[in-house]
Amino acid sequence: MTDPAAPETTQTETAWTIAKPTALLVLADGTVLEGKGFGASGAVEAEVCFNTAITGYQEILTDPSYTGQIVTFTFPHIGNIGTNDEDLEDLNPARRAGAVGAIFKADITEPSNYRASEHLDAWLKARGIVALSGIDTRALTAHIREHGVPNAVLAHEPSGQFDIDALKARAKAWGGLVGLDLAKEVTSGQSSTWEETPWEWDKGYGSYSVGDGDMHIVALDYGVKRNILRLLAGLGTKVTVLPATATAEDVLALKPDGIFLSNGPGDPAATGEYAVPTIKDLLDTGIPVFGICLGHQMLALALGAKTVKMHQGHHGANHPVKDHTTGKVEIVSMNHGFAVDSGSLPAGVTETHISLFDGSNCGLAVDGKPVFSVQHHPEASPGPQDSHYLFKRFLNLIREKRGEEALAER
Alpha-helix runs per DSSP H in 180-333: 183-186, 226-234, 248-252, 268-283, 294-302
Q: Check 143, 293, 314, 319 and give the catalytic one.
A: 293
* Domain end (from 140, 173, 206): 173
Q: Check 47, 185, 330, 379 and give the catalytic one.
A: 379
Say if residue 383 is in the same domain as residue 269.
yes
Mean pLDDT value across the chain? 93
Indicate the pLDDT class of residue 279, thresholds 50, 70 and 90. Answer: very high
**Whole-angstrom distance, CA of residue 398 vs CA of residue 35:** 52
Q: Evaluate whether residue 85 is within a structural domain.
A: yes
Say if residue 162 is in the same domain as residue 212.
no
Residue among 185, 155, 157, 156 nearest 170 (CA)? 155
pLDDT winner (highest mean) among 125-139, 185-199, 205-219: 125-139
Indicate the pLDDT class of residue 409, thresholds 50, 70 and 90. Answer: confident
Say if residue 104 is in the same domain as residue 232.
no
Percent of the chain with pLDDT over 90: 87
Say if residue 285 is in the same domain as residue 168.
no
Does pLDDT of 323 surpass 50?
yes
CATH of the domain at 187: 3.40.50.880
Say if residue 221 is in the same domain as residue 310.
yes
Q: Evaluate whether residue 91 is within a structural domain.
A: yes
Q: Evaluate whether residue 204 is within a structural domain.
A: yes
CATH of the domain at 93: 3.50.30.20
Lowest mean pLDDT among 209-218, 345-354, 395-404: 209-218
Pairing relation of β-strands 215-221 and 258-261?
Answer: parallel
DSSP 8-state assignment for residue 262? -
Instruction: Specify whether 8 is catalytic.
Output: no
State pLDDT tens for residues 287-320: 999 999 999 999 999 999 999 999 999 999 999 9
Instruction: Specify whether 379 is catalytic.
Output: yes
Q: Evaluate whether residue 178 is within a structural domain.
A: no
Give the pLDDT score at 189: 85
The neighbour count for residue 137, using CB atoms within 10 Å, is 22
Say if residue 254 is in the same domain as residue 358.
yes
Q: Evaluate whether residue 319 is within a structural domain.
A: yes
DSSP 8-state assignment for residue 285? T
- Number of helices and strands (H, E) in the chain? 10, 21
Q: Evaluate whether residue 395 is within a structural domain.
A: yes
Percent of the chain with pLDDT over 70: 94
Dihedral of alpha carbons 21, 63, 298, 387, sign: negative
Give the pLDDT score at 371: 98
Give Rg (Cα) of the chain: 22
Say if residue 48 is in the same domain as residue 165.
yes
Give the pLDDT score at 212: 59
* Domain end (from 173, 197, 219): 173
Indicate the pLDDT class of residue 5, thresholds 50, 70 and 90. Answer: very low
State pLDDT tens for residues 108-160: 999 999 999 999 999 999 999 999 999 999 999 999 999 999 999 999 999 99
Q: Evaluate whether residue 5 is within a structural domain.
A: no
Three-state SS for 145-214 is HHHCCCEEEEEECCCCCCCHHHHHHHHHHCCCCCCCCCHHHHCCCCCEEECEEEEECCCEEEECCHHHCC
Higher local confidence (pLDDT), 8 or 90 = 90
Q: Evaluate whether residue 68 is within a structural domain.
A: yes
Tally of domains in the chain: 2
Give the pLDDT score at 33: 97
Alpha-helix runs per DSSP H in 23-174: 57-61, 120-127, 137-147, 164-173
Does pLDDT of 14 surpass 60?
no
Give the pLDDT score at 231: 96
Instruction: Provide the domain limits for residue 396.
Output: 183-401
**Whole-angstrom distance, CA of residue 16 vs CA of residue 342:** 48
pLDDT winner (highest mean) among 16-25, 200-209, 394-403: 394-403
Higher local confidence (pLDDT), 290 or 85 = 290
Say if residue 133 is in the same domain as residue 99.
yes
Say if residue 77 is in the same domain as residue 56.
yes
* Domain end (from 173, 203, 231): 173
Say if residue 268 is in the same domain as residue 167.
no
Say if residue 153 is in the same domain as residue 188.
no
Instruction: Specify whether 293 is catalytic.
Output: yes
Residues 6+ apart with CB under 8 A from 202: none
Say if residue 266 is in the same domain as residue 307.
yes
